[in-house]
């Protein structure tokens, strides 16, 4: 009994002794000078590796590509600090010759690496030539395919001679999420093999330099450079936080706990339920949308992707029938608990895209007609957003916006009305028959569909897929979900699926040009059945009309007004052909805590993308101000 008493006493003492030690901060660094952000890469296996030019050798979103590296241009998926386009190391926009076989870059002088060496054209040339020479490096293939030669014909000017016409060559050096980062020539040229060099400690070109990192890969702390004015971010003012810590806070529940304890200023993403908890319990919470749906819509478009090489989905009427069986309201509730921003067209409803595409196409969408064989229907419903808002109002009350413009921004500009009658007519038109409660294919087999979902690692899209399968089953289709878990990427790339919930559309968000994903949809890149498909045409769709659009995009410049017209033609083609059923933006529930910092980007002040693993999230630093002086 004495032993028991001793044990109880010892554990009580141990617990009491730890009370003062439970706060997660950097020793010696004042908490109110530090912003703590989530790194969704988690624990870095190889924490001392900073050579980002090798393929996945170490962490990338540890603050390294956000705060320490730089390249020629940035495009913000939102409005940006001074417009979505940002000349960074380049002093002006790319200059192409007439046939897009040469690109000239005027570089910005007066930018310095953190070791005091000036950034010069030599660094850019070295970056390009080193990667072409070493074929196992991250951007080797892209550069080797495109660059004939690179030189500096005059001071602060670099000229690329291209192997072939490429009007979007600059996009390789333009950060949407990332880009080809500049290598410090004076550091790398001393390394015996640039592919085996760890670049530790990294020499920084950004406004922050490495302060310290966890040898076990859990956290990285970056410190504002004394000479931050000599970086490209310097012209926007002094970055607020003196220190920025990128940490692995663990699973979603712990992220919520950490933010409620004010130990994590920016959560990259949590489940919708986690965000609802934070909105109820954290008075210092700041989110992209002030109220529901809170999340930042990424310029990425989760969709139902048909494997177009599968004979079952080669009939447009069948694809449309399946789309008309989807009740987007139910999918929104099942996936994002209502916090989804829907899109009926193949372009995400985020950034400047609604102004360029969704709003101008409203009339066309409203008048769009489908001939089911027995009747003509207008499938578009511009009021779905309102209906979702009405559904949510009883539970979320004043958190649901009432202004129609805000509702459209939050919940999307409409989607297709569920119409089982029209779906049945379309299937009959395609030769399908219904016997009893089940549908049969034209050759008399049970109409079966497998919808592949990722499973636990992507719960929101898995829930969306499960709901869609339920809706198809209710109609009499033998639909099933297939949970791919870790094999998702391999099966998607191999075309080993019938339908799949994922995305093949990713855009700049802040710029109307769609070539970022659209170029890879050209039929020249579609793999034969059984062969590996390269990104991003996972639907393996070939279409001559689409090819024409892409070929015209290739012939015109990035900023040509015709890109918007061509983008709209693409959007209409997707509606007509439905090779994917676009669902909604990929909403990221980034939660920001105002206990220590204010000035986060929001939908009201969209000066940057708040999602902290994006390269362009660096813009946030110059607008953040300390709350506690």
Partner 1 sequence: MRAYLTYLSKRLVQFAVVVFVGINITYLVTHMTPIDPVEQSISAATSFGSTSPEAIEMMRQSLRQLYGLEGSPWEQYVSFWKRILVGDFGPSLSAFPTPVSQLILRALPWTVGLLLVSTLLTWFLGNLLGGLAGYYRNSRVLRAFGVISMALKPIPYYVVALVLLIIFGFLWPVLPISGGATMASDRSNTFAFALDVAVHSILPVLSLMAVGIGGWFMGMRSLVSNVVTEDYVIYAELAGVKRNRILGSYVIRNALGPQVTGLALQLGAIFNGAIITEYVFGYPGVGSLLISAVHAGDYSLVLGITTISIVAVSATVLLIDLLYPLIDPRVEAR
Residues numbered 53 to 72 that lie near partner 1 (CB under 8 A) are 54-58
> Of all helices (H) and strands (E), which one includes residue 571?
helix 562-577
**225, 404, 605, 611, 612 from 239: Cα distances, Å:** 10, 36, 18, 17, 15
Residues between 508 and 567 with contacts to partner 1, criterion CB under 8 A: 516, 519-520, 525, 532, 534-535, 537
Residues between 127 and 156 with contacts to partner 1, criterion CB under 8 A: 135-136, 138, 140-142, 144-145
Residues 74 and 615 sit within 8 Å (Cβ to Cβ):
yes
Tell me which stretch binds partner 1 (CB under 8 A): 7-15, 335-343, 382-390, 402-410. Answer: 7-15
Helix (H, G, I), strand (E, B) or coil at 122: helix
Cβ burial 469-483 (10 Å sphere, 16+ → b, else e): bbbbeebbbebebbe
Question: Residue 43 or residue 101: which is nearer to partner 1 going by CB?
Answer: 43
Tell me which stretch binds partner 1 (CB under 8 A): 10-18, 425-433, 560-568, 587-595. Answer: 10-18
Residues 588 and 594 sit within 8 Å (Cβ to Cβ):
no
Question: Residue 24 or residue 386: which is nearer to partner 1 going by CB?
Answer: 24
Q: What is the 3-state secondary structure (H, E, C) of 304-318?
A: EEECCCCHHHCCHHH
Residues between 394 and 433 with contacts to partner 1, criterion CB under 8 A: none
Residues 12-31 vs partner 1: string with x where CB under 8 A?
--xx-xxx-xx-xxxxxx--
Question: Residue 120 or residue 307: which is nearer to partner 1 going by CB?
Answer: 307
> Rounded to the nearest whole angstrom, what is the least distance from the CB of residue 335 to partner 1 in the complex?
20
Residues between 217 and 276 with contacts to partner 1, criterion CB under 8 A: 217-219, 221, 245, 247-251, 253-254, 257-258, 260-261
Question: Residue 347 or residue 389: which is nearer to partner 1 going by CB?
Answer: 347
Give the residue among 613, 526, 525 at the shortest CA–CA distance from 296.
613
In this structure, the dihedral spanned by the alpha carbons of residues 26, 31, 35 and 37, taken in order and rounded to 10 degrees, is 50
Tell me which stretch binds partner 1 (CB under 8 A): 228-236, 331-339, 341-349, 490-498. Answer: 490-498
Question: Residue 151 or residue 534: which is nearer to partner 1 going by CB?
Answer: 534
d(Cα 74, Cα 85) in Å, to the nearest integer? 6
Question: Residue 402 or residue 457: which is nearer to partner 1 going by CB?
Answer: 457
Does position 283 interact with partner 1 (CB under 8 A)? The reply is no
Residues between 36 and 55 with contacts to partner 1, criterion CB under 8 A: 42-43, 45-46, 49, 54-55
Residues 38 and 266 sit within 8 Å (Cβ to Cβ):
yes
Question: Residue 196 or residue 576: which is nearer to partner 1 going by CB?
Answer: 196
Question: Residue 258 or residue 620: which is nearer to partner 1 going by CB?
Answer: 258
Question: Residue 47 or residue 239: which is nearer to partner 1 going by CB?
Answer: 47
Token readout for 114 is: 């953190």
Helix (H, G, I), strand (E, B) or coil at 155: coil
Token readout for 551 is: 């070929």
d(Cα 429, Cα 261) in Å, to the nearest integer? 59
> Rounded to the nearest whole angstrom, what is the least distance from the CB of residue 163 to partner 1 in the complex?
11
Fill in the DSSP letter of residue 412.
Answer: B
> Rounded to the nearest whole angstrom, what is the least distance from the CB of residue 614 to partner 1 in the complex?
8
> Rounded to the nearest whole angstrom, what is the least distance from the CB of residue 298 to partner 1 in the complex?
10
Helix (H, G, I), strand (E, B) or coil at 546: helix
Beta-sheet pairing, 85-87 with 73-75: antiparallel
Count of Cβ atoms closer than 10 Å to residue 235 Cβ? 12
> Rounded to the nearest whole angstrom, what is the least distance from the CB of residue 526 to partner 1 in the complex?
9
Does position 489 interact with partner 1 (CB under 8 A)? The reply is yes
d(Cα 112, Cα 305) in Å, to the nearest integer? 46
Give the residue among 101, 49, 67 at the shortest CA–CA distance from 175.
67
Token readout for 8 is: 């109880």
Size of the site for partner 1 (CB under 8 A): 81
Question: Residue 195 or residue 362: which is nearer to partner 1 going by CB?
Answer: 195
Number of H helices, E strands in the chain: 18, 29
Residues between 70 and 109 with contacts to partner 1, criterion CB under 8 A: none
> Rounded to the nearest whole angstrom, what is the least distance from the CB of residue 96 to partner 1 in the complex?
16
> Rounded to the nearest whole angstrom, what is the least distance from the CB of residue 229 to partner 1 in the complex?
27
Helix (H, G, I), strand (E, B) or coil at 342: strand
Question: Residue 51 or residue 499: which is nearer to partner 1 going by CB?
Answer: 51
Question: Residue 359 or residue 489: which is nearer to partner 1 going by CB?
Answer: 489
> Rounded to the nearest whole angstrom, what is the least distance from the CB of residue 496 to partner 1 in the complex?
8
d(Cα 200, Cα 197) in Å, to the nearest integer? 8
Does position 3 interact with partner 1 (CB under 8 A)? The reply is yes
> Rounded to the nearest whole angstrom, what is the least distance from the CB of residue 135 to partner 1 in the complex?
5
Residues between 198 and 217 with contacts to partner 1, criterion CB under 8 A: 211-212, 214-217
> Rounded to the nearest whole angstrom, what is the least distance from the CB of residue 188 to partner 1 in the complex?
16
Residues 432-471 vs partner 1: string with x where CB under 8 A?
-------------------------x--------------
d(Cα 48, Cα 214) in Å, to the nearest integer? 9
> Rounded to the nearest whole angstrom, what is the least distance from the CB of residue 442 to partner 1 in the complex?
32
Q: Is the dihedral of CA 284, 289, 293, 296 positive or negative?
A: negative
> Rounded to the nearest whole angstrom, what is the least distance from the CB of residue 375 to partner 1 in the complex?
41
> Rounded to the nearest whole angstrom, what is the least distance from the CB of residue 257 to partner 1 in the complex?
5
Tell me which stretch binds partner 1 (CB under 8 A): 149-157, 184-192, 484-492, 593-601. Answer: 484-492
Count of Cβ atoms closer than 10 Å to residue 432 Cβ? 19
Task: 160-164: list long-range contacts, CB under 8 Å, 24+ apart.
Answer: 160/102, 160/103, 160/104, 160/105, 160/128, 161/101, 161/102, 162/100, 162/101, 162/102, 162/103, 164/101
> Rounded to the nearest whole angstrom, what is the least distance from the CB of residue 492 to partner 1 in the complex?
9
Question: Residue 306 or residue 538: which is nearer to partner 1 going by CB?
Answer: 538
Residues between 157 and 186 with contacts to partner 1, criterion CB under 8 A: 171-172, 174, 176-179
């Amino acid at each position: 009994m004495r032993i028991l008493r001793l044990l109880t006493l010892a554990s009580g003492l141990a617990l009491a002794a730890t009370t003062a030690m439970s706060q997660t901060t950097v020793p010696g660094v004042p908490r109110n000078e530090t912003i703590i952000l989530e790194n969704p890469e988690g624990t870095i296996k190889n924490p001392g590796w900073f050579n980002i030019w090798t393929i996945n050798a170490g962490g990338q979103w540890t603050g390294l590509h956000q705060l320490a590296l730089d390249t020629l241009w940035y495009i913000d998926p939102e409005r940006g600090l001074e417009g979505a386009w940002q000349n960074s190391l380049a002093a002006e926009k790319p200059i192409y010759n007439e046939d897009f076989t040469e690109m000239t870059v005027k570089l910005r002088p007066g930018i310095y690496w953190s070791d005091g060496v000036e950034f010069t054209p030599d660094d850019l040339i070295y970056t390009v030539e080193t990667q072409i020479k070493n074929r196992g490096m991250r951007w080797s293939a892209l550069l080797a395919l495109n660059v004939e030669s690179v030189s500096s014909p005059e001071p602060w000017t670099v000229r690329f001679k291209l192997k072939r016409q490429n009007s979007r060559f600059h996009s390789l050096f333009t950060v949407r999420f990332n880009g080809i980062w500049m290598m410090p020539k004076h550091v790398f040229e001393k390394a015996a093999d640039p592919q085996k060099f760890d670049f530790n400690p990294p020499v920084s070109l950004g406004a922050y330099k490495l302060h310290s990192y966890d040898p076990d890969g859990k956290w990285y702390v970056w410190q504002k450079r004394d000479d931050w004015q000599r970086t490209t971010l310097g012209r926007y003012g002094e970055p607020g936080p003196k220190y920025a810590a990128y940490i692995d806070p663990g699973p979603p529940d712990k992220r919520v706990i950490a933010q409620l304890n004010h130990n994590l200023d920016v959560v990259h993403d949590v489940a919708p339920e986690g965000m609802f908890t934070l909105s109820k319990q954290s008075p210092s919470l700041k989110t992209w949308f002030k109220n529901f749906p809170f999340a930042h819509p990424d310029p990425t478009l989760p969709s139902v992707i048909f494997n177009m090489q599968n004979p079952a989905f080669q009939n447009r009427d069948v694809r449309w029938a399946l789309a008309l069986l989807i009740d987007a309201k139910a999918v929104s509730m099942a996936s994002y608990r209502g916090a989804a921003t829907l899109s009926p067209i193949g372009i995400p409803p985020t950034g400047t895209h609604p102004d360029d595409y969704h709003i101008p196409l409203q009339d066309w969408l409203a008048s769009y007609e489908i001939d089911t064989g027995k009747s003509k229907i207008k499938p578009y419903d511009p009021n779905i957003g309102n209906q979702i808002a009405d559904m949510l109002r009883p539970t979320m009350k004043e958190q649901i916006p009432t202004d129609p413009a805000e509702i459209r921004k939050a919940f999307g500009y409409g989607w297709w009305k569920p119409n089982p009658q029209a779906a049945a007519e379309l299937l009959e038109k395609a030769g399908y028959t219904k016997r009893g409660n089940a549908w049969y294919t034209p050759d008399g087999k049970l109409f079966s569909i497998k919808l592949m979902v990722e499973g636990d690692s992507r719960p929101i899209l898995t829930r969306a897929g499960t709901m869609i399968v339920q809706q198809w089953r209710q109609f009499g289709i033998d639909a099933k979900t297939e949970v791919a878990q870790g094999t998702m990427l391999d099966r998607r790339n191999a075309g080993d699926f019938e339908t799949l919930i994922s995305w093949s559309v990713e855009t700049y968000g802040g710029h109307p040009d769609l070539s970022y994903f659209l170029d890879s949809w050209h039929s020249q890149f579609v793999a034969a059945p059984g062969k590996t498909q390269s990104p991003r045409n996972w639907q393996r769709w070939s279409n001559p009309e689409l090819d024409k659009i892409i070929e015209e995009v290739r012939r015109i410049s990035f900023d040509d007004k015709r890109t918007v017209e061509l983008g709209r033609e693409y959007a209409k083609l997707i509606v007509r052909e439905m090779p994917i059923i676009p669902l909604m933006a990929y909403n990221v529930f980034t939660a920001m805590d105002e206990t220590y910092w204010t000035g986060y980007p929001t939908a009201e002040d969209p000066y940057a993308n708040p999602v902290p693993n994006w390269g362009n999230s660096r813009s946030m630093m110059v607008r953040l101000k300390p709350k506690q002086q």
